[in-house]
């Protein structure tokens, strides 16, 4: 059976590629065999994008989530994966909670800032 078209997608952090010898060997083998590859560098998202992501995620207007989004942007540097992981950790730690009484997401800014400071160490 001959395969004429094949799509393979791999995701890796370019600053960690040297730590993965098998990936380096695989990429070199593709080049050696003249297989066409396309590298797509996915950078960080902007402060505004983080603000939109937070606003959409917790279903509140951006002007109400600005301070919350600013803390998350400073903590994550705009890395979209880190933004979602940090939101998950805030929820896990009950620093981001849904109030059934008010029908809205709430967060404790003071404790969030302490968590950010503590996690930097």
Q: pLDDT tens across 18-76, in order?
A: 777 888 888 889 899 988 888 888 889 999 999 999 999 999 999 999 989 998 998 89
Residue 95 lies inside a defined structural domain of this protein = yes
CA atoms within 13 A on the CB side of 92: 7
| pLDDT tier, 121 (very low <50, low <70, confident <90, very high otherwise) | very low
Q: What's the mean per-residue pLDDT of the chain?
A: 86
Residue 79 lies inside a defined structural domain of this protein = yes
Give me the helix-helix angle, 80-92 and 62-76, nearest 10°: 110
What is the tally of helices (H) and strands (E) in the chain?
A: 5, 2
**Count: domains in the chain:** 1
Host domain of residue 62: 47-120
Residue 56 lies inside a defined structural domain of this protein = yes
Q: Please, what sign has the CA dihedral across residues 12, 15, 20, 25? A: positive
The mean pLDDT of 87-100, rounded to a whole number, is 90
Residue 40 lies inside a defined structural domain of this protein = no
Model pTM score:
0.67
């Amino acid at each position: 059976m001959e395969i004429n078209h094949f799509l393979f997608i791999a995701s890796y952090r370019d600053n960690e590629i040297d730590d993965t010898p098998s990936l380096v060997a695989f990429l070199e083998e593709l080049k050696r065999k003249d297989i066409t590859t396309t590298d797509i560098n996915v950078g960080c998202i902007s402060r505004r994008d983080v603000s939109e992501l937070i606003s959409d995620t917790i279903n509140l207007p951006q002007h109400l989530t600005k301070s919350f989004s600013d803390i998350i942007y400073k903590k994550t540097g705009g890395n979209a994966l880190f933004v979602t992981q940090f939101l998950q950790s805030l929820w896990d730690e009950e620093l981001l909670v849904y109030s059934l009484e008010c029908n809205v997401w709430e967060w404790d800014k003071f404790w969030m800032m302490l968590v950010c400071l503590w996690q930097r160490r």
